[in-house]
Structures are given as C-alpha cells and as structure tokens.
Amino acid sequence: MNILVTGASKGIGKAIARELQSVGEVYVTGRNEKALAACNAKDFCVCDLSKDINSLAKFIEDKKIDVLVNNAGEYIYGALESMKTDEIMRVFETNLIAPAYLISKAIPHMKGQRWGRIINIGSISGVMGEAYASIYSASKAGLIGLTKSLALELAEYEITVNTINPGWVETDLGMNSIEESEFSKEEIIDTIPQKRFVKPEEVAKLCKYLISQDAKGITGQSINLCAGLSVGI
C-alpha cells in the first residue's frame, strides 16, 4: 500500500503520516523540507500546492500512490470585501483545485488495480459555514461536493472517496485561527458540546479505519469529527 499525505510537516498531516506508517509505505509532501525529512517517511516531495504542483503530480504517478490523503489546507480570516484576489486564489488553489488535480493523477493507477482510497480533510466550516471565513468555508464545502461525485464515478473500481470534517483541532493552524478571530479560546470551547478541542490523532485514527477493508462500504461520505459542534448548541 503506497500512501501519500499532503501537508504532512505539522499538525493533522503529521499525525496522519505517523499513524499510517503501520499499514503501508508512507510518502509525504509539504513546503518545509526539514520538517518533511523528520517525518521518517519512505520519501518526500517538497511542494507548495498553491503554485506549481507538476512535480508532485509526477511523484504520485511514479510512486504508484493508491491511498491519497488530501490534508494540506490554507485558512484566511476576514470580511470578503477586504480579501485580495491573490489571497482568494491561494485558498481555493490549495484547498480545492490542488486536491482535485492530485486525485486525477492517482485515479489511473487505482483503476488499473481496481482498488484505492481517497480521503479529503475538509472542515466543519465547510458544513456549517463560518462568519468571516467565507473563502475557507466555500473551498472546504467544494471538497464535499467533489467527494460525493467521485465516489459515484469510482465505486465500481472498489475505490472509496470520503471527507473528514474536523472541528476545532489542537494544532498550530487551529490556535492561530483563534488569535485571528474576535473570540478567546475559552469562548470557543464554550460553544463546543464536549467542551474540548479534537486531537490530531483522532483524525489520524479515523483515516486509518477508512483505509481498511472493514470500511470498504463507506464511500461518498462527509464525516464530522468535531466534538459535537455540528449538532447544535
């Protein structure tokens, strides 16, 4: 099993890469070469998903990737009217366009062997919406639509496609987004039914399950891993 995890240099991606090393050959990609080298993966490809990703596309083809975890993400906070064009493009390119392109490069090999797993790491903001994070929310909502459609297209080849939507996760990205918002950490925790942040390892273990044969009947799903945040208050 050849696994590629994007955005694996830290946070959720790092936890996923570490967890999946017990079930296959793990390859990683991200922008920080030093951090990728420290992942103890089989190999890595330094790449910025908002720029030229042709080298990563070739990497996917060369390594015969049959499990693709699209984890890398870009977050931006602020009113839509204040966003610059390059900021909007960067978020969509990283969160939606790059995952779609990378999937397109992995599909031929998966179809050829009639087996594959595609896991997109979305966000609860793509399910519920988040004020002042409209671009981020829209890009993650797009991943859900991509997942559903691809699941239908690829089902006959025993390729499953699912999206995991984490809520507030205890990572640098999560904590930085709190600092950018108008709310304190305590105020945000108070809105979460379980009164806690999700751990990166929880997302990683769910990925491990979705890859397994036990989960072969799960496809086209949008799974909320959010400590109850999506249910209501």
DSSP SS3 for 183: coil
H/E stretch holding 114? none
* DSSP per residue, 123-159: -HHHHH--TT-HHHHHHHHHHHHHHHHHHHHHGGGTE
Nearest to 18 by CA among 10, 216, 121: 10
CA distance 30 to 47: 5
Class of residue 200 by CB neighbours under 10 A (exposed 0-12, middle 13-18, buried 19+): buried
How would you write 5-73 as a 3-class SS string?
A: EECCCCHHHHHHHHHHCCCCEEEEEECCHHHHHCCCCCEEEECCCCCCCHHHHHHHHHCCCCEEEECCC
136 flagged as catalytic: yes
Choose the catalytic residue: 75, 101, 136, 209. 136
For residues 32 and 8, is the Cβ–Cβ distance under 8 A?
A: no
Catalytic residues, which ones? 136
